[in-house]
Amino acid sequence: MATSFTSMDTSIAEQWAVIGAETAKNQGRVAERVLDLLRSLADIVDGFATDQLTHCLQTATRAERDGADDEVVVASLCHDIGKAISVPNHPAIAAEILKPYVRPEVYDMIRVHQDFQGRHYYAHFGGDPDAREKHRATLAPEVFDLAARFADDWDQTAFDPDYDTLPLEHFEDRVRKVFGAANLVPG
Ligand SMILES: [Fe+2]
């Protein structure tokens, strides 16, 4: 169906209207791709006591049980989704996947999560356990506290194979809700 342009410099507005409508119609694809990526984390263990899907599910379970809202729970579920592609830059990958769908402080919570986690393990690599402090000047105090709560209470504790971890099915409806519509940022 070559009804659209073959190079952008020959495109017309009507073609872009079709693309916009089709893209909006297919928005549901985003949540399904996210769920597929999460499922793929079951194959990644890399020496931890749990696979990475279990770790993500356990992080989200802990957040939910602490009363976190839906965006925070879904972000907690997705915080290590970047590991499905590349471990060294996984926080940035996860944060950018989430960015259009969550409020800015939830995006920040994921973007900085490795530096906040450092409190609990960077010393083993000769790193700075207080790496989180470099974010204190740029994050609002309540965002800093949210990132600390995420790392200290939910993420760094979520490697327990014996914990009562909730299954992915428990979170699927909220994944579809959060990724169901992008936040349109004016300007
Ligand atoms: Fe994690």
User: Is residue 178's pLDDT more than 90?
Assistant: yes
User: Is residue 187's pLDDT more than 90?
Assistant: no
For residue 166, the model assigns a pLDDT of 98
Structure tokens at 101: 């769908």
Residue 104 Cα, ligand 1 centroid: separation in angstroms? 20
Residue 41 Cα, ligand 1 centroid: separation in angstroms? 12
Backbone conformation region of residue 43, classed left if phi is above 0, alpha if psi is from -120 to 50, else beta: alpha
Residue 55 Cα, ligand 1 centroid: separation in angstroms? 7
Residue with the bigger pLDDT between 183 and 79: it is 79
37-57 pLDDT tens trace = 999 999 999 999 999 999 999
155: which residues sit within 8 A by CB, 6+ positions away?
A: 59, 76, 79, 113, 117
pLDDT-derived band at 16 (thresholds 50, 70, 90) equals: very high
For residue 185, the model assigns a pLDDT of 62
Residue 155 Cα, ligand 1 centroid: separation in angstroms? 5
Residue 37 Cα, ligand 1 centroid: separation in angstroms? 15
Residue 73 Cα, ligand 1 centroid: separation in angstroms? 13
104-143 pLDDT tens trace = 999 999 999 999 999 999 999 999 999 999 999 999 999 9
Residue 33 Cα, ligand 1 centroid: separation in angstroms? 20
Rounded CA separation 42/29 (Å): 21
Rounded to two decimals, what is the model's pTM?
0.94
Q: What integer is the mean pLDDT of 156-166?
A: 98
User: Is residue 155's pLDDT more than 70?
Assistant: yes
Residue 149 Cα, ligand 1 centroid: separation in angstroms? 13
Rounded CA separation 35/176 (Å): 9
Residue 138 Cα, ligand 1 centroid: separation in angstroms? 22
Residue 105 Cα, ligand 1 centroid: separation in angstroms? 18
56-78 pLDDT tens trace = 999 999 999 999 999 999 999 99
Sign of CA dihedral 57, 182, 13, 10: negative
Q: What integer is the mean pLDDT of 143-159?
A: 98
Residue 13 Cα, ligand 1 centroid: separation in angstroms? 44
Residue 19 Cα, ligand 1 centroid: separation in angstroms? 36
